[in-house]
Structure 1
Amino acid sequence: MTLEANIEQKETRKNKHKNKSIFLRMLRYAFPYIHLLILSIVIVLTLTYLTLLPPQIVRKAINSYILSETLSTSERLSGIAKQGMMFLLVSSGIFLFEYLSILVTTYIGGRVVYDIRRQLYDHVLRLPMSFFDRHPSGQITTRITSDTQNIQEFFTSVITSIVNDVFLLAGVIFMMWRISSRLFLDIIYVFPLIIIAMTVFRYFDIRAYRAVRNGIAKVNAYIAENLAGMPVTKLFNAEDFKREEFDKINRELFKSRMNQLYVFGIFRPLINFLYYLTMSLIIWFGSKYILGKILNFGDLFAFVSYIDTFMRPIEDLSEKYDIIQNTTASAEKIFALLDEKTEEETKGGKSEITHGKIEFKNLWFTYDNKRWILKDINVEFHPGELVAIVGETGAGKTTIMNLINGMYRPQKGVITIDDVPLEEYDLQMLRKHVSAVPQDVVLFSGTLLDNIRLFHEEISEEEVYRALEKVRALDIIQRLPNGIHTK
């Protein structure tokens, strides 16, 4: 075995173990709805049983009534009518249980995604500011929206489909053996070919999917980077170079997509060929057995119907496998976000500031672990003092403010409030006592009142009016159509 093959084999084993742990972790979210999951499996098993009945009903109608030579015409018509009613009842049952299956699985998927999204957003709210410096908002939005949607699709259409397909395939094999074991043994050689085709498809589909996934990631990263740097591109007339650079990355993604299409393009026709090969064998051997009085025409019809039922889940394999691949990739990203460390918990939970003396002792700070923004800072801020910190852009003025309210933690040194390390204080209490006016204006959806008191309902409108009057903004807001209630 070559070194490259050995590395690839180890990587495959590693990915299998990782995927298993991801699925187990994902299934924990379905545990609160285990009763509904069990109900959906019962519904699916009932649906599988009903799906196996129509060929048997038609088989009986053909063998016992249509081809019967001993019954009268009225008896034959009466028997055919009974079988027709039975077929209609079973079809109605299939419709009902398919509806129930879709209803229950969609509800489970919706609840699971609701829980994951709620946990994700709650977790994001508790992440430190350093996380948002490293990750663009679009990436976080994708985790909470698109990636969770992929998980919903897994719970909605994959889990119960797998159960249904497994029992349906087993049921079809049992029914075919029961109808004619000789005819079943004549076509059994096709099944290993189907298994080999599925195995080969899985191998190449994984490789093609990873290539597409990497290509999409490169395109997304390139677009995000170059849209942010568009002013520089235009300033230096670099449009042609950037166009060629993007075209190269885009072409790589196109090739990966085409390779994936080639895999699908071969798999589906191959399965169809094996289906027609099986049908040819059934017709050949079945006709011989009918002529030899070993098999009835109704048996042959049922056999053909079951083969058609057998091939359906195999044809859907490519679609379901892609959903599983997407779910694995999305779940991996979601759990990576959930595993991000939240803001450090306070040690003592000190909930009161006595005087308000702030001191920086030998403080060093960097955002990216490459360039120090603050170097060995030693400064004191005493209660009642009016202190102005002046400096050029990037000197660290905003950084000092963010360090005081605990948005970041210094790499070296310590910040104390009333000679107590900042880490000893309750963060929410600390930020409540620090007033800050950000450089960037951020308006949330809602009314002006919501934005002024930032959704703190305990702050009355009277207090808001007094605050607006103090900052000389009341007259401006009162000119608006709905005042502070303007959206």
Structure 2
Amino acid sequence: MKKYLKQHLLYIIGLVLILVIGTMFSIWVQFLKGDILNLALEGNFKKSVIVAGTLLMAILLEILFMHLEYLMENKISYLCVKTLKADLFEATVRKDYFSFNNKSIGEYVSKFTTEVDTLKNAYLNSIFMIIMFALKIVFVTGSLVWLNWKLAIITLVLLTMPLYVPKLAEKKLLANQNEYLKTMEIFLGKLNNFLEGFELIKNYKVEKSIIQQFKLYNNRSMNAALKNNNASALVRILSTFMSYFSYFVIVAFSAYLVIEKDFNAGEFFIAINMIDQLSYPLIALSGCIQNIISVKDLNKSVTGYYGDTLEVRGIKQKVINQFKSKIEFKNVKFSYDENKAILQDISLSFEKGKKYLIKGPSGTGKTTLINLLLKYYKPTDGIISIDDMDIQEITTMYDIATVVRQDNFLFNDTLRNNLTLYQDISDEKLLEALEKVQLGKFANIEGLNMVVGNGGNLFSGGERKRICIARALLTNKEVLILDEPLANLDTENIEKLEERILDLKNYTIIMITHIISEEAEMKFDKVINLEIR
């Protein structure tokens, strides 16, 4: 988090200035209290009233600067967390497909919720308190030196003893915090997984067993949280005990100074209030140090989270802006493990401007073939090239290709935003794309402003497919990849969609399907049949 605090250094300086002035007013209040006590003991009523008025003004100013302190801390926290979340999201989106899929959605959500909130509460808030307490300790110690240097030394030595406790327990605190975060990440991943499978749960009537599974993971995460909190509580109570013992010794010494006539009543009163002001910060400072220690690993993990980017790997890659001639698979082999190859000795050629149909039953590697072309995976053997350039040498295939998947993902937003994906595309082009895929009834301003619902549930399956194809056409990419676009559609919608796809001009189309009419199949330039090995 240091990186984000440095980015907002001016606000940190502003906070320090506010804290300095606020602390000075706080100390002034204590001295004014002592003056009132001495004047009262002297019986000087008139002067006591004047000092009381000054005291009231000092208290109000102290409260004002306390409020300014809270506002500034909130501002710094807001800026740091906002920037951190933006960096986390950018790092996540820039991951390659394979790296992204190494974690569940719940684990990514955990970074933006549990981990960021933990850093905010345990790190940022502790930093603010450390700054405040450090300034208070400096000013209060200076005031105690002015009152009595012996008392100042004894106070500083004794009251700093609780600060050593968190450091002694550092390994235990780190282990407990890391265990809690790990179990919480697993819990959120499972929770997300269970909710995604809601229909499956209802379909198979397994509510009872899923509830039991949830309780299992919930218990693990909550037990880890309890263990972490109990360890923190033990460290805090030890620090508090040492602090109160030290406080007792200091008060006894202050009383001794009064007996020895080194202090008058007002000075004793000031000293005790000063020690009170020093005692709490030093107890709290121990807790702040404990918090920062406990999230040390998390801080490194979250702020260092930028994925396995190409720059990190040190690979210089080329950008392709144009598809000139052909895409080739040369003796390509691929397997997820050493035992069984999904694809074996595949040699194919996709020429620019032609339409290709890839057929075959489930398990023949149709989707895997496309994922290899998109660089989601690297071939176990062989080469995939575009215009005689190995695709491993280029940054991404998405510069010239767009893929439409079977699941037809749509954001819960307007039809316009689902088509543009929040980019600046004119309504004229949107309406034209909708007409191309035979969605003319939505090709108007009212239609574009419609909210599609969660997952596009306000549209039929066929309409969702065509919306996704319209979205792909708007990218103006030269290669259009359609992964099972006809799946889960009725006969009428299959025929309509086949017609729309075959009517598309100026695209190299690679379509994967196991459902297609004979009439439509004959209109493709080439049909590639994959068989189970």
Instruction: Give the TM-score category using the shorter length.
Output: 0.7 to 0.9
Find the counterpart in structure 2 of residue 441 from structure 1: 408
C-alpha distance in 2, partners of 1:302/1:216?
A: 48
Q: Secondary structure at the match of 2:8?
A: helix
Residue from 131, 136, 140 that aligns with 1:168 = 136
Relative to structure 1, is the Cα distance of residues 453 and 346 closer, same or farther in structure 2, using a 3 angstrom cutoff? farther
Counterpart Cα distance in 2 of 1:365 and 1:146: 38
Aligned-partner SS, 2:363? coil
Match of 1:415 in 2: 384
Match status 1:52 vs 2:56: no
Q: For residues 24-56 of structure 1, what are the alpha-carbon distances to aligned partners after superposition, in whole Å with 9 as ceiling and x for unaligned?
A: xx3223333222222222322333333322222
Partners of 2:153 and 2:278 in 1: how far apart? 16
Counterparts in 2 of 1:372 and 1:78: CA distance versus 1, 3 Å:
farther
Tell me the equivalent position of 1:159.
Answer: 127
Q: Aligned partners of 2:255 and 2:353: how far apart in 1?
A: 103
Q: Matches of 1:433 and 1:197 in 2, distance apart?
A: 60
Q: Specify the code of the residue in structure 2 equivalent to 1:410.
A: P
Shift in Å, 1:129: 0.9
In the superposition, the TM-score normalised over structure 1's length comes to: 0.77
Q: In 1, Cα distance between the equivalents of 2:270 and 2:230?
A: 35
Structure 2 counterparts to residues 116-195 of structure 1, below 5 A: 116-153=84-121, 156-183=124-151, 190-191=158-159, 193-195=161-163
Q: Which moved more, 1:266-275 or 1:103-112?
A: 266-275
Partner of 1:303 in structure 2? 271
Q: Secondary structure at the match of 1:364?
A: strand
Whole-angstrom distance in 2 between the partners of 1:446 and 1:235: 31
Distance in 1 (alpha carbons) for counterparts of 2:248 and 2:321: 81
Q: Where does the alignment leave 5 or more consecutive residues of structure 2 unmatched? A: 452-533
> What are the ranges of 5 or more consecutive residues in structure 1 without an aligned counterpart?
1-25
Q: Is the 8 A contact 1:113 1:151 kept in 2?
A: no
CA contact (8 A) 2:22 2:62 kept: yes
State the partner residue of 2:439. Answer: 473
Choose 102-111 or 287-296, whichever is displaced more: 287-296
Give, in whole Å, the separation in 2 of the partners of 1:375 and 1:398: 14
1:442 maps to a residue whose letter is F
**Structure 1 residue 166: deviation in Å?**
2.1
Write the distance in 2 (CA, Å) between the matches of 1:280 and 1:413.
Answer: 79
Query: Conserved in 1, the CA contact under 8 Å of 2:160 and 2:282?
Result: no
Whether 1:62 and 2:37 are equivalent positions in the alignment is yes
Q: Report 1:327-406 matches (<5 A).
A: 327-342=295-310, 347-355=317-325, 357-366=326-335, 372-383=341-352, 385-406=354-375
State the Cα deviation string for residues 320-361 of structure 1 (Å, max 9, x = none). Answer: 346425653443332453142259977443422223x22101
**323 and 374 in structure 1: CA distance in 2 versus 1, 3 angstrom threshold:** farther
Of residues 434-443 and 371-380 in structure 1, the stretch that sits farther from structure 2 once superposed is 371-380
Alignment of 1:233-312 (within 5 A): 243=212, 255-282=223-250, 284-312=252-280
Q: Structure 2 vs 1, CA of residues 389 and 198 (structure 1 numbering), >3 Å: closer, same or farther?
A: closer
Query: What amino acid does structure 2 have at the position aligned with 1:465?
Result: L
For normalisation by structure 2, the TM-score amounts to 0.71
Q: Check whether the contact 1:113–1:152 (CA below 8 A) recurs between aligned residues.
A: yes
Cα distance in 2, alignment partners of residues 269 and 97 from structure 1: 31
Give the paired residue count.
Answer: 448
Q: Which amino acid aligns with 2:17?
A: V
Q: Assess, with a 3 A threshold, how the Cα gap between structure 1 residues 185 and 416 changes in structure 2: closer, same or farther.
A: closer
Residues 402 and 116 of structure 1: CA distance in aligned 2, closer, same or farther (over 3 Å): same
8 Å CA contact 2:16–2:131 kept in 1: the answer is: yes
Letter in 2 for 1:163: I
Q: How does 1:31-46 map to 2 (within 5 A)?
A: 31-46=6-21
Name the amino acid aligned to 2:430. Answer: V
Partner of 2:64: 96
One-letter amino acid of the structure 2 residue matched with residue 164 of structure 1:
M
Indicate how the Cα distance of structure 1 residues 235 and 305 shifts in structure 2: closer, same or farther if over 3 A, else same: same
Question: Secondary structure at 1:388's aligned position in 2?
Answer: strand
Amino acid at match of 1:444: F
CA distance in 1, matches of 2:179, 2:109: 24
The residue identity in structure 2 corresponding to 1:52 is I
Q: State percent identity of aligned pairs.
A: 21
